[in-house]
Amino acid sequence: MKEEGLYEEAAKAVKELIEAAGLKQGDIMVVGCSTSEVTGERIGTSSSVDTAEQVFAGIYDTLKKAGIYLAAQCCEHLNRAIIIENEVACRERISVVNVVPQPKAGGSFATMAYKYFEAPVAVEHISADAGMDIGDTLIGMHLKEVAVPVRISTRSIGAAHLVCARTRAKFIGGERARYDEKMM
């Protein structure tokens, strides 16, 4: 599969998710991306830096314009660690770990994040406000506790299946409780 259109597909999907999830400046979006799946191959078999660069750029450029932070999930070889800006790690008081992702150990998408972020660091966990799973990479462990599926018109990026989610505050209090509709 050619890389043509991947930037645009990724940017369009992010714009849709930002709107559907009601994300705001300062929020965090986790993205897991199998470039193997984007190119039509089986996950973990054909990592592609060129593909990652296009998909990453579409996502990162769009999030940056909106003031939303990207958290790039590494592959299972790095236990699905997260690459974030050091600013986010400090703000969220998350412990940094020492690893630099590579295309075959961390994945090409996370490698691009490490290359292009201003001050990249790796962390083991994050609680993101929304997420985008490109190619069934299993991002759920990095979302806040109550994840809600979000259906957008973009169903795939390249050949990779796309699943999106937002999070919401937990409901507590039982049947007599009232809830803030803006937080649903």
pLDDT of 121-177, one tens digit each?
999 999 999 999 999 999 999 999 999 999 999 999 999 999 999 999 998 887 788
pTM of the model: 0.92
pLDDT of 79-133, one tens digit each?
999 999 999 999 999 999 999 999 999 999 999 999 999 999 999 999 999 999 9
Instruction: Name the helix (H) or strand (E) containing 150.
Output: strand 147-150
Domain spans, the chain: 6-156
Provide the b/e sequence for 22-36 (b: ≥16 CB within 10 Å): ebeeebbbbbbbbbb
Separation between Cα atoms, residue 105 and residue 180, nearest integer Å: 43
Separation between Cα atoms, residue 160 and residue 8, nearest integer Å: 15
Q: Which CATH architecture has domain 6-156?
A: 3-Layer(aba) Sandwich (3.40)
